Amino acid sequence: MTPHAGIRHPDGTEASTSEVLLVEPSTLSPARRMATTVLRSRELSIFLVLVAVTVVATLKNESFLFSADGWRNFWVNPSLLLLLAVGQAVVVITRNVDLSVGSVMALTAYLTGRLFIDQPGLPIVAVFAICILAGAVLGLVNGMLVAYFNVPSLVITLGTLYIYRGIVLSWAGSDRINAGDLPSDFLALGNKAILTIPVLTIIAMAVLAAVGYYLYTARGGREFYAIGSDPDAAVLYGLNVRRRVLAAFVLSGALAGLVGVLYTARYGTVSSGVGSGIELQAVAAVVVGGVAIFGGSGTVWGAAIGAFLLVTINRALPSLGIEDFWQRAVVGVLILGAIVLDRLLANRQARKLAEAREMTT
Amino acid sequence: GSEDSGSDSGGESDGGGDVSLTMLPKNLGNPYFDTSTTGAEAAAEEVGATIEQVGPETGDDPAGQVPFINTVAQQGEDGLIVSANDPEAICDAIGEARDAGVKVVTFDSDTNPECRDLFINQATSEGIAAKQLELISEQIGGAGEIAILSAAANATNQNAWIEMMEAELESNPDYADIELVDTVYGDDQDQKSFDQTEALLQNHPDLKGIISPTTVGIAAAARYLSESEAKGKVMLTGLGTPNQMRPFVEDGTVEAFALWNPADLGSLAVYATAALVNGDITGEEGDTFEAGELGEFEVGPDGVVLLGEPFTFNADNIADFDF
Amino acid sequence: MTSPRTYSDFSQPLWRRVLLTREMAVIVLTVAVVLYSLANVPNFDGPLTVKFLLQDIAPILLIALPMTLIIITGEIDLSVASIVGLSSVMLGVLHDNGLSVPVAALLALLLGAACGALNGFLIAYVGLPSLAVTIGTLALFRGIAVGLLGTKAVTEFTERWTDLATDTLGSSNIPVVMVPFVVLAIGFSLLLHFSTFGRGVYDIGLNDEAAHFTGVNVARTKWILFVLSGVVSAFAGVYYTLRFGSARGDNATGMELQVIAAVLLGGVSIFGGRGRLHGVIAGVVLIGVIASALRLEGVTVNVTNIIIGLLLIASVISTPLLSWVATRLPRKAPPSEEPTTPKQATPAGV
Amino acid sequence: MTGSSTPVLELRDVSKSFGPVVALRAGSLRVEAGSIHALVGENGAGKSTLVKVVAGVHRRDGGDFLLGGDSVDFGSTSDSKDAGVAVIYQEPTLFPDLSVMENIFMGRQIVGRGRRIDRAAMYAEAEGLFGRLGVDLDPRRPARGLSIADQQIIEIAKAISLDARLLIMDEPTAALSGVEVERLFAVARSLRDEGRALVFISHRFDEVFDLCDTITVMRDGSYVATHRTEDTSSPAIVAEMVGREVADLFPKTPAEIGEPVLEVEGLQSRGVFHDVSFTVRRGEIVGLAGLVGAGRSEIARAVFGVDGYDAGRVRLNGREIRRRSPRAAIDAGMAFVPEDRRAQGLVTEASVARNVASVIRGGLARAGLLTTGAENRAAGPWAGRLEVKTNALDMSARTMSGGNQQKVVIAKWLATEPDLLIIDEPTRGIDVGTKSEVHRLLSELAGQGMAILMISSELPEVLGMADRVLVVCEGRITADLPRADATPEAVMHAATRQLEVAG
Ligand SMILES: Nc1ncnc2c1ncn2[C@@H]1O[C@H](COP(=O)(O)OP(=O)(O)OP(=O)(O)O)[C@@H](O)[C@H]1O
Ligand SMILES: Nc1ncnc2c1ncn2[C@@H]1O[C@H](COP(=O)(O)OP(=O)(O)OP(=O)(O)O)[C@@H](O)[C@H]1O
Ligand SMILES: [Mg+2]
Ligand SMILES: [Mg+2]
């Protein structure tokens, strides 16, 4: 029996619409509706900020964009944070948070180096695979603890942040990976470009596109939102909450693992301190990107733009003649601005609902 | 645990006659300090001392070293060898350690002179500053914009050298055409130093040279330059370890850079501390002591012991070194 | 109506209510670790241990007090360490410009209050999520602090005050800073556990809508807490600066996570509504003792991190783990004579 | 019911305990295809628990559970869905951030090519469902901000769209108005005629007898009896439910009306209500009637200061009350028993004592110090007076049944000894026993000179209790009827006046 059966019923369908109604069913055409939602979207607003920053910086100093290095860095630098932000966004949408990404990234970054040193024969693809897997496993640990004991992820991942970092430190000790230890074609990956777009960026964008598409069009994707919006209701709906939460953390871990490899390819040197503090940047990117910190709403597109914006601002400030000591302050203002903006948009929608009710009265 | 090395100065009590030392670098996971610790351990063998390295993970917290200094005081070790993250913040803790009978020797980066017994200086600030300017000057042909990529904004030694360089640039007519346009800080973190290098090149299109007087910084900068269009156009020198810099010297990103041997620095620090502990010297100006194959050293003004002049590494000699 | 029925005040005997609590577990664990260390860790019994230990944890102890109340309301303040840094810089800059330490310190406290007020306004009155807001102000305050001093550090402080910050009480090994801490601790305990304000704090954490309907001024309560957090953090910053005689923008970087870890370890629920101050204080001490003992054992920092992380996780999964075990155990359901009144329902959490 | 055909659902002596709490000791139920089966019982009788066992929310501890003849054991609600069981839970469970449409189809979205979800198809079907229920909700609107009534309607749409062979409705009408109830019943009957089985839980007997053909009574978590509707009567059912005779449901004793206590003038809040003016006098019970969603709760909330308002003034005993400050209202002598007791009325995790003392605790502090002892001493008598069922004052209110929780809420407000009591849906989802207690209490309070403003969606309740009935329609007061003139017809006419003008 299809779910449609219900409406094929010779019955009150003709019921007068003279009921106590809240909001008229939208009469906009799908196209118009799409247009308006895009125009109103949070994503657009911060995308415009990003464009503005880039334009101003480029006007000040056109090598910001129009030099081989400038162009490359414009794309490469945000890529790592972007990947972390995508994973973080999915976790946050399920009303969780993953603070351990920095430590996971450090683990796999060092692992990458060790693999190349200890298993010289190993093909680069294999290294990627191993590190992504390793990240996924670490994410799985987070997910297990959160989903099966249902305890707050903030606490769990704060704990694993310490633990994973501790493991890196004990493992690496004061040993470090130097560019010299790494195969040159792996290092080249950090700067290779296809049609002037760096490979790192292409990888990041591909991941972003895949995750974004899944979240919007797959049942599973929608369930992430449902779970984040009201976990208890999700259980009553018969959604498999545990599996989804688990999946979110595994994804976040796997992406952090990937970032570890890419970090090594890009920076060539790895010490045990890699990525400390980056977890807050990732959360910041997500927040700036308009993902509600308490889950249920927001998109990975927004998170990605948020990451891009944070990094680009940092790159732009010096060109704008702002001493780099002030960068963190500017980022702070940016975050606050973003969430205040969210609130304003939300209030506007609420006012609309009120007016809509006004109409019917 | 103290592994007993046969040569015993038949003393009494602590650690079964061994001189017990603690090595406290700015932070762990820093190849420069690892090398100096290696040297220190070798020297410790010689003088029959036990030595242990402890330290914070990162060098960015000024007070990060204090708990370790406190611990040394609690343990009543004989000597502490420390490279100060902050000239002031750890003084009080050092004071307490000295009250507890610990001899405190700073190396590589000093505290305020009155805090410690001795400072083992790798080279005079003048010497280091002069050396790096000399290198960059000949690499950029004596004219053009240069910038400095430093470590933490508060590192005592870094700031001392930077001041010296600025002074030298002012005064020395040879450098009249060289302009120091910017100083940035990489906090001895790979990524930050790397990104700072990028920012330098981006914001100073006419940049000719970069001086990075810190091993982490110069390595990161070299790594960035080696892939950037600026390779060969922008010269890079500073203080680095041969092992980290080897690929970049070989691929021509870097012509020459300087450094003393950190191992010698560590080993000298141990000999000096041991001499203090055994009462051979008091740290007075003019005291002299033997430092194994490094020879004899004399305590200068402000209780400073000078290792020597920095050594220049280049394509011809870099193969001979392994640290 | 008919003769009103009467009730017993408590469903469980006193000893159960006192002993079978999360707080007690933390306290017992702390005592156990101390005893073990005294017996087995060389030099732990030394005279300096207490002094160094307390000096090290003093800032965390201080900041943990307001943080506990904030987390009980279901909010969080990630900007505390940045306020420490900012007030430290403030103190330094003002002192550098000729103000005496006490005056400069007072102004630093005011600045702290202002920072807290900003957090509080955005969270309590604009209604923004505290996690997001304080991640923002974490960056903002730290950025201002670092921006103000740049590469410089102010290290010239009047001897008298730096000494005071490192002195101990008389001949004892108790640092002077414990005096303001004890005063604040008592103050906060009374506020949280013996005042209408405190009851409001718990109600907000459990159900802020109901609290609002009951006449609790939710916004003002939260605002006050963030201001308190700002002031106390600034005080910790002043202490920190004077103890190390060095005012720097990057002072106490990352301390916020240590504070939160300690508070949660002390039995405060991140969801709000649950937790007590003595548990938190025990939590801070526990972390401090473990770190100190491990350093004396020559164990490196990373092991300490691992242990703290494990403790943190254990502290939250212990409860569900135990109840899970309980359900696995054979249970005889006693037929209760008054079914609609659960014979022994779950006692209230607060 | 013809015993021959295998029943769609059969439960025999099903039991369920939560730790020490025995929620269900011997629940039995036998539902035939093509019938609507009522399940009645006092608060805490175990109805919802029984439902949740069938839905797979809870696993039963013992007893037999047969669906279509074969024994089943559901581990999760998805199992029961797959088995063709649809459930409307007592508390609406929606995702506020998601659109109404996604709320209806979550977890079983219509998928098209490549398993992409097909939004267009689902919007179409959602609009169809609402058409069938005769409500006009925008499926694209987020669920956040919907009134309880609208949420309940979405729950219903969700359930019928499942096209299940067994549909269980746990108090679906608690928040609905007459019109909507009628529509729901129409749909229910049509489903029955299709041969589906329905279980209907309600505390409103008129509905039960109107809709259902079979009635099963539960008491104290156990099965009591099953009757065909025509063979029984509501007094009989009530007797079986409570196990005792219940006094008259609406024992309104006339009290002499005094001077005005509450005076509301020209209250207005954009989009919710407009120039609302009325007074409530000492000893008077004023009923606020109207269709659900008319804005009665909003008016009450504004008067009490929980919400703000754009224009107008509220005076209590002549003194104007600061807007948007419940504290001010309380200090002035107002009390407010809100609509949703779990979300607004109680801190369910806190102890009974804390809850009862929560409003008055300011006065309990001695030398600024407030002790649990003081709270217990203050709370005990009030809990006793309301006969709250708990064995100690430090029990949390979480696991109490609806009626018992409502008593705690009322106790907490009576403890403030107010001049004006605003009570929103005083008996929503409360069993007859407790219901009559509440009504007796209200008229007793009025007798002692308290002014009472009562909001209720149950017309009989309003007509039975109120000295004066104010009718709210779309945020406007459209009638002010003295007890004498307050006939059901008059009220319904006023409640739908503007609609008729519009339609
Ligand atoms: N999750 C739970 N944990 C503990 N006790 C519970 C739980 N759910 C219900 N109970 C208890 O089980 C008993 C039956 O509750 P239930 O909700 O089934 O009653 P009900 O018949 O639905 O009452 P109402 O008519 O008010 O909805 C009550 O005493 C209630 O306190
Ligand atoms: N939080 C909210 N956001 C937006 N609209 C709301 C909100 N709460 C209620 N409404 C709308 O305001 C109007 C009044 O809602 P409400 O259900 O409180 O009226 P009511 O007469 O009290 O009905 P009830 O019988 O449920 O008390 C309705 O149109 C409802 O949809
Ligand atoms: Mg029920
Ligand atoms: Mg209402």
The structural domains of chain C, with segments of one domain joined by +, span 20-35+43-318
What tokens appear for A229 in the block? 């919006």
Q: What is the pLDDT of residue D163?
A: 82
CB neighbours of B27 closer than 8 A, spacing ≥ 6? B33, B55, B56, B57, B58, B59, B64, B85, B188
The number of the ligand nearest the C-alpha atom of D219 reads 1
Report the interhelical angle of B190-203 vs A300-319 (nearest 10°): 60
**Which residue has the least CA distance to atom 7 on ligand 2?**
D145
Residue-wise pLDDT tens digits, A128-153: 999 999 999 999 999 999 998 878 89
Rounded to a whole number of angstroms, the distance from the CA of A208 to the nearest CA of chain D is 18
Put simply, the answer to whether A69 touches B198 (Cβ < 8 Å) is: yes
Tell me the residue ranges of DSSP E strands in B18-109: 19-24, 49-53, 79-82, 103-107
CATH classification number, C20-35+43-318, choose in 1.10.3470, 3.40.1130, 2.60.40, 1.10.3210: 1.10.3470
User: CA neighbours within 13 Å on the CB side: how many for C4?
Assistant: 12
| Closest among C301, C286, C295 to C32, alpha carbons compared | C286
Residue-wise pLDDT tens digits, D45-91: 889 999 999 999 999 999 999 998 889 999 888 889 889 899 988 77
Q: Would you say the CATH fold of D245-333+419-503 matches that of D9-94+146-242?
A: yes
Q: What is the pLDDT of residue C289?
A: 94
**Which residue has the least CA distance to atom 2 on ligand 1?**
D399
User: CA neighbours within 13 Å on the CB side: how many for C100?
Assistant: 4
Share of chain A above pLDDT 70, in %: 86
pLDDT bucket at B6, cuts 50 / 70 / 90: very low
- Beta strand pairing status for B311-314 and D9-18? unpaired
The 3-state DSSP class for residue D334 equals strand
A10 occurs within a structural domain = no
**Cβ contact A77:B195 at 8 Å:** yes
Region at D486 (left for phi over 0; alpha for psi -120 to 50; beta for the rest): beta
Mean pLDDT of D241-266: 78
Residue of A4, A7, A20 to mutate when probing chain D, most D C-beta within 10 A: A20
Mean pLDDT of B164-168: 91
Q: Which of D96, D97, D138 is nearest residue A25 as measured by Cβ atoms?
A: D138
What is the Rg, in whole angstroms, of the alpha carbon atoms belonging to chain B? 20
> Which residue from D61, D216, D401 has its CB within 8 A of the most atoms of ligand 1, so it is best to mutate?
D401
Residues of B in contact with A178 (CB under 8 A): 219, 243-244
Residue-wise pLDDT tens digits, C238-289: 999 999 888 888 888 888 888 998 999 998 988 899 999 999 999 999 999 9
The 3-state DSSP class for residue B321 equals coil
The span from the CA of C244 to the CA of C161, in Å, is: 11
A30-39, C108-117, C293-302: segment of lowest average pLDDT: A30-39
Q: Which of C1, C195, C273 is nearest residue D365 as measured by Cβ atoms?
A: C195
C98-135 burial, b for 16+ CB within 10 Å, e for fewer?
eeebeebbbbbbebbbbbbbbbbbbbbeeebbbbbbbb
A114-118, A186-190, D24-28, D197-201: segment of lowest average pLDDT: A186-190
Please determine, for residue C337, whether its predicted confidence score (pLDDT) is greater than 50.
no
Using the Cα atoms of residue C144, residue C148, residue C149 and residue C150 in order, give the sign of their dihedral. positive
DSSP string, B31-48: HHHHHHHHHHHHHHHHHT
Put simply, the answer to whether A180 touches B184 (Cβ < 8 Å) is: no
CA distances from D169 to C328, D52, D90 (A): 33, 11, 8
User: CA neighbours within 13 Å on the CB side: how many for C251?
Assistant: 38
The span from the CA of C202 to the CA of C192, in Å, is: 8
- Beta strand pairing status for D285-290 and D451-455? parallel
Q: What is the pLDDT of residue A264?
A: 93
Share of chain D above pLDDT 90, in %: 47
B204-242 burial, b for 16+ CB within 10 Å, e for fewer?
beebbbbbbbbbbbbbbbbbbbbbbebbeebbbbbbbbb
ipTM > 0.95, yes or no: no
Please determine, for residue C298, whether its predicted confidence score (pLDDT) is greater than 90.
no
pLDDT bucket at C317, cuts 50 / 70 / 90: confident
The DSSP code for B222 is H
Cα angle for residues A137, A293, D347 (degrees, 5° grid): 110
What tokens appear for A293 in the block? 């910190």
Please determine, for residue D270, whether its predicted confidence score (pLDDT) is greater than 80.
yes
A52 occurs within a structural domain = yes
Range with top average pLDDT, A117-126, B173-182, C224-233, D281-290? C224-233
Residue-wise pLDDT tens digits, D343-376: 899 998 999 999 999 999 989 988 889 999 999 9
Distance of CA D177 from the midpoint of ligand 4 (Å) = 11
pLDDT bucket at D246, cuts 50 / 70 / 90: low
The span from the CA of C20 to the CA of C33, in Å, is: 19
The 3-state DSSP class for residue A15 equals coil
Please determine, for residue D398, whether its predicted confidence score (pLDDT) is greater than 80.
yes
What tokens appear for B102 in the block? 């610990």
Residue-wise pLDDT tens digits, D492-503: 788 876 444 433
The span from the CA of D119 to the CA of A217, in Å, is: 9
Cα angle for residues D335, D339, D341 (degrees, 5° grid): 85
Residue of A328, A333, A341 to mutate when probing chain C, most C C-beta within 10 A: A328
Q: What is the pLDDT of residue D251?
A: 66
A7 occurs within a structural domain = no
**Cβ contact D42:D202 at 8 Å:** no
| Closest among A236, A238, A240, A216 to A90, alpha carbons compared | A216
The structural domains of chain D, with segments of one domain joined by +, span 9-94+146-242, 245-333+419-503, 344-417
The residue of chain D nearest to residue C211, with distances taken between CA atoms, is D347
Using the Cα atoms of residue A123, residue A125, residue A128 and residue A130 in order, give the sign of their dihedral. negative
Task: Report yes or no: D292 at the A interface, CB cutoff 8 Å.
Answer: yes
Using the Cα atoms of residue A321, residue A326, residue A328 and residue A333 in order, give the sign of their dihedral. negative
The residue of chain C nearest to residue B75, with distances taken between CA atoms, is C43
Residue-wise pLDDT tens digits, B144-156: 999 999 987 777 7
Ligand 2 touching residue D150 (CB < 6 A) = yes
Residue-wise pLDDT tens digits, C135-145: 899 999 999 99
Q: What is the pLDDT of residue A351?
A: 77
Residue-wise pLDDT tens digits, A275-309: 888 998 999 999 989 898 888 889 999 999 999 99
Distance of CA B102 from the midpoint of ligand 4 (Å) = 76
Determine the number of helices (DSSP H) and then strands (DSSP E) in chain B.
9, 14
Please determine, for residue D29, whether its predicted confidence score (pLDDT) is greater than 70.
yes
The span from the CA of B111 to the CA of B26, in Å, is: 12
Q: What is the pLDDT of residue C339?
A: 36
The span from the CA of C248 to the CA of C240, in Å, is: 10
As a whole number of Å, the end-to-end CA separation of chain C is: 31
Residue that the structure tokens 């070798």 belong to: B42
What kind of fold does domain D245-333+419-503 have according to CATH?
A: Rossmann fold (3.40.50)
Distance of CA D150 from the midpoint of ligand 2 (Å) = 8
The span from the CA of B247 to the CA of C301, in Å, is: 33
A241 CB burial (10 A radius; 0-12, 13-18, 19+) = buried
Q: What is the pLDDT of residue D468?
A: 94
pLDDT bucket at B212, cuts 50 / 70 / 90: very high
D182 CB burial (10 A radius; 0-12, 13-18, 19+) = middle
Print the domain residue range for A30: 17-360
C298 CB burial (10 A radius; 0-12, 13-18, 19+) = middle
Please determine, for residue B17, whether its predicted confidence score (pLDDT) is greater than 90.
no
Count of C-beta atoms within a 10 Å radius of residue C179: 11
Tell me, rounded to whole angstroms, the distance of Cα D2 from its chain centroid: 34
Share of chain A above pLDDT 90, in %: 43
Tally of domains within chain A: 1
User: In degrees rounded to 5, what are phi and psi of residue B211?
Assistant: -110, 125
Mean pLDDT of C79-89: 96
* Most distant pair of Cα atoms in chain D: their distance: 74
Residue that the structure tokens 């009935």 belong to: D469
Please determine, for residue D388, whether its predicted confidence score (pLDDT) is greater than 80.
yes
Ligand 1 touching residue D402 (CB < 6 A) = yes
The residue of chain A nearest to residue B241, with distances taken between CA atoms, is A178
Put simply, the answer to whether C264 touches A287 (Cβ < 8 Å) is: no
What tokens appear for C99 in the block? 């103000």
Average confidence score pLDDT of chain C? 87
| Homologous superfamily, domain D9-94+146-242 | P-loop containing nucleotide triphosphate hydrolases (3.40.50.300)
Q: What is the pLDDT of residue B15?
A: 41
Task: Report yes or no: D390 at the C interface, CB cutoff 8 Å.
Answer: yes
User: In degrees rounded to 5, what are phi and psi of residue C195?
Assistant: -145, 160
Please determine, for residue A108, whether its predicted confidence score (pLDDT) is greater than 80.
yes
**Which residue has the least CA distance to atom 3 on ligand 2?**
D145
Q: What is the pTM of this model?
A: 0.84
Residues in chain B: 323
CATH number for the domain harbouring residue A102? 1.10.3470
Tell which wins on pLDDT, A174 or B73: B73
